Amino acid sequence: MTGSSEIGSPDDQVADTAKSARSRWRLTAAIGLAIVAAVILAGELTLIATDHGSASTGAVSDAGNAPAPAPLDAQPFSFLDHPAIVPDLKFVDGDERPVSLSEFKGRPVLLNIWATWCLPCRSEMGSLDRLQAKFDPAKLRVLALSIDRGGAPVVKKFYSDLGLKSLGVYVDQSGAALHGLGLIGVPGTLLIDATGQEVGRKLGPAEWDSPEIVALFRDHFGVESSQGAAGTTP
């Protein structure tokens, strides 16, 4: 009686060899794919980090590379259903004296947050100056608050270059006003009533001395224009 052999036939050996080769190929391919995926993931993470860094430094102030909010395009006025509390912002005037927003209570205030490096802001400053010239500042104050990191000297030079005479110089070098008011960029403008509460706001620039906006102050606040009014102190 002949016993069965433990050694397979030549065909079986060839099949086992091929199967082993396929297994090694699959393993090698899996490792290769894992490496490629890791490289791609690393590249994508690098791009995300780069884009995030670019976005955070895309707009810079006059002080150098410090991040600043992006300039805004013009958007319509948005009026509130109910007046809202406005934080008592702290800033300085052109003589570096401390000033707070609450000091302007008792009259409507058009609070405009701006900066000299913001092109839309620069384009509207002349109309803000003319708007203040139309109204007695004791009855309606146009409060242009700069967030320039260079402080009052930068703003004063800008006023001189543009020949602005009716607006006062007010500066918040910290930029805290922008965030305190929940603005996403500049220029941003709040309409504040005589009690110091916000009744509306506008994002982006405007032609502030246009007949439509002058009529808005007359109709909304009951303030008539008075050409020739002077004075810029609180």
Task: Summarize the confidence of residues 108-124 as an average pLDDT.
Answer: 96
pLDDT of residue 35: 46
Q: Which residue has the tokens 């995300």?
A: 48
Tell me: the pLDDT tens digits for 140-161?
Answer: 999 999 999 999 999 999 999 9
Tell me: the pLDDT tens digits for 13-35?
Answer: 544 544 554 555 455 445 544 44
CATH architecture of 78-221: 3-Layer(aba) Sandwich (3.40)
pLDDT of residue 219: 87
Task: Summarize the confidence of residues 181-200 as an average pLDDT.
Answer: 96
The bridge status of strand 197-203 relative to strand 78-85 is: antiparallel
Tell me: the pLDDT tens digits for 33-83?
Answer: 444 344 333 443 333 333 333 333 333 334 344 455 767 676 778 899 999
Map out the domains of the chain as residue ranges.
Answer: 10-56, 78-221
Task: Summarize the confidence of residues 90-102 as an average pLDDT.
Answer: 97
pLDDT of residue 225: 85
Phi first, then psi: what are they for 111, rounded to 5°?
-95, 115
**What mean pLDDT is reported for the chain?**
78
pTM of the full predicted structure? 0.69
pLDDT of residue 207: 95
Residue bearing the bigger pLDDT, 10 or 169: 169
Tell me: the pLDDT tens digits for 206-230?
Answer: 999 999 999 988 888 888 887 644 4
Contact criterion met (CB below 8 Å) for 201 and 191: yes
Taking the C-alpha atoms of residue 196 and residue 190, their distance in angstroms, rounded to an integer, is 11
Contact criterion met (CB below 8 Å) for 166 and 232: yes
pLDDT of residue 11: 54
Task: Summarize the confidence of residues 116-132 as an average pLDDT.
Answer: 96
Helix axes 211-221, 119-134, angle to 10 degrees: 60
pLDDT of residue 19: 53
